[in-house]
Amino acid sequence: MSSQNAQQFAQKWYDIVMSDTITEDTAKMISTETVTNFVDHFNRGWVEYRKSVTEAGDYAGTEWRGVGSKFYDVFDNEYIDCLGGYGALDLGWSHPEVVDAVKSQVGRSGIPTQELMDPLRGALAALMAKITPGNIDHSFFVNSGTETIEGALKIAKLYTGKTGFISTVKAFHGKTQGSLSVMGKKDYRKGLQPYGSQNFFVPFGDADALEKQLDICKTVGIDIAAFIAEPIQGEAGAIVPPDNFWPRARQICDDYGILLIADEVQTGMGRTGTMWGVDHWGVTPDIMCTAKSLGGGVMPIGAFMGSAKVWKAFEEPNPFIHTSTTGGNPMACAAAIAAINVTLRDNLPQKAAENGAYMAGKIEELAKKYPGIYNRITGKGLLIGQHFNDAEIGYKVASGLFKRKVLVAGTLISAHTIRFEPALIITKAEIDEVLNRLEDTLKEVV
């Protein structure tokens, strides 16, 4: 493509971005060209596994705008969002206070110089210290969840002088190399192994297995830096551990002199009915990670956090051992400050607990009313896992809901399980409408 053609192409899409409204012909063009662009220039596999393509009819479902718990495609069809960006949209689509904060900040500065002090990064770090458990009082900001895991593993190695890790089966911690090394799913690990460290895996929720693995490593002389786990496993299907697991894991880590890392990328910011997933069990990890909803659904931002004691590994002898050009930029920090303010002011963790209990209870009733479909319902707050008797049923439910304009989180890896992760601001009326459409879908599946 010539530079002139490229500029014309850029101008066309710039004009679309700047348009307040689009015609039906433009909507058709956007839908058609989006599929072509994905297939030819991005990732054909994404298209082949998207319900928005395979179940949408003549034109692929192409998201365009959203507000609250609902979004609209390019043809202005309204959907209730129960996927929530896999936990990134706790405040829903385009929360006005977060949007306004970013608009205001971008007019002043976007990407920092890296040389002067940028005030919002410091303010957000101080704010994180006020809302995290125990003595966690330092934060480093990045752009994504997997980057927070990379940072957590790095600081654990630096602090302990050890290189091994223990993770959990079916864990999801991200898809960069370090994060993949503690990933508990072969679907993502296969073809990219081996990884650098000696890493081991135990069943999630099994404290005895963790203790036994640490004892084995000690016996054979393998040094372990940390144990890493999600408070509640997300992609595995909203799996809640036994109530004694996290307190015992904390004690076991102390007994063996290793760090405890909590991956709160999906469970943080009120999703499970408390501000942080570990708050359900009153446990303070040594290192915590969060991302997804930290940016209020408007800007990408993540953070890994720890106590001043652990943080010395980043400060001495080389304070520049971990940096990020765009991580913690002023726009992302403005979004995070606004998101935290809304979350605390509107008591969204409590709303998630109440609405989650209501929603899960109603799904349990539907499971009894339509036997042979569900295996079990799991989760806490508005992280709800619907486990079906087989993958075919799971896909039928996911696609049936999509046809009824409800978006849910079924995955390529496990159609056995569908997650409900709506915005924490979802109303009771919207929940009831989702449940009505779910029941219609279950009748069809039966």
> Whole-model pTM?
0.93
Q: CA-to-CA distance for 316 and 321, rounded, in angstroms? A: 9
Q: Which CATH number applies to 109-345?
A: 3.40.640.10
Q: Are the CB atoms for 222 and 247 separated by under 8 Å?
A: no
For β-strands 406-407 and 63-67, DSSP reports them as unpaired
* CATH level 2 (architecture), domain 35-95+348-445: Alpha-Beta Complex (3.90)
Nearest 5 degrees, angle CA 270-CA 274-CA 279? 125
Q: Specify the DSSP element, H or E, that contains 12.
A: helix 3-18
Cα separation values, 234 from 90, 172, 204, 294, 420, Å: 15, 7, 12, 17, 11
Task: Extract the tokens encoding 366.
Answer: 């539907």
The answer to whether the Cα torsion of 104, 107, 108, 113 is positive or negative is positive
CB 136 within 8 A of CB 303: no
The pLDDT value given to residue 191: 47
Strand partners, 387: 376, 417
Question: Cα separation of 237 and 294, whole Å?
Answer: 22
| Cβ contacts of 435 within 8 Å, gap of 6 or more | 359, 362, 363, 366
Query: Quick check: 166 and 214 in contact, CB under 8 A?
Result: yes
For residues 320-349, one letter each, b for 16 or more C-beta atoms within 10 angstroms of the residue's C-beta and e for the rest, the string is eebeeebbbbbbbbbbbbbbbebbeeeebb
Domain ranges of the chain: 35-95+348-445, 109-345
Both tokens of residue 195?
Answer: 């990884």
Per residue of the chain (446 residues), give pLDDT as tens.
678 899 999 999 999 999 989 999 999 999 999 989 989 998 888 787 776 767 767 777 889 999 999 999 999 999 999 999 999 999 999 999 999 999 999 999 888 888 888 999 999 999 999 999 999 999 999 999 999 999 999 999 999 999 999 999 999 887 666 665 666 556 554 444 555 668 999 999 999 999 999 999 999 999 999 999 999 999 899 999 999 999 999 999 999 999 999 999 999 999 999 999 999 999 999 999 999 999 999 999 999 999 999 999 989 888 888 888 899 999 999 999 999 999 999 999 999 999 999 999 999 999 999 999 999 999 999 999 999 999 889 989 998 999 999 999 765 556 789 999 999 999 999 999 999 999 999 999 98
DSSP 123-161: HHHHHHHHHSSTTEEEEEEESSHHHHHHHHHHHHHHHHS
Residues 259, 160 contacting (CB under 8 angstroms): yes
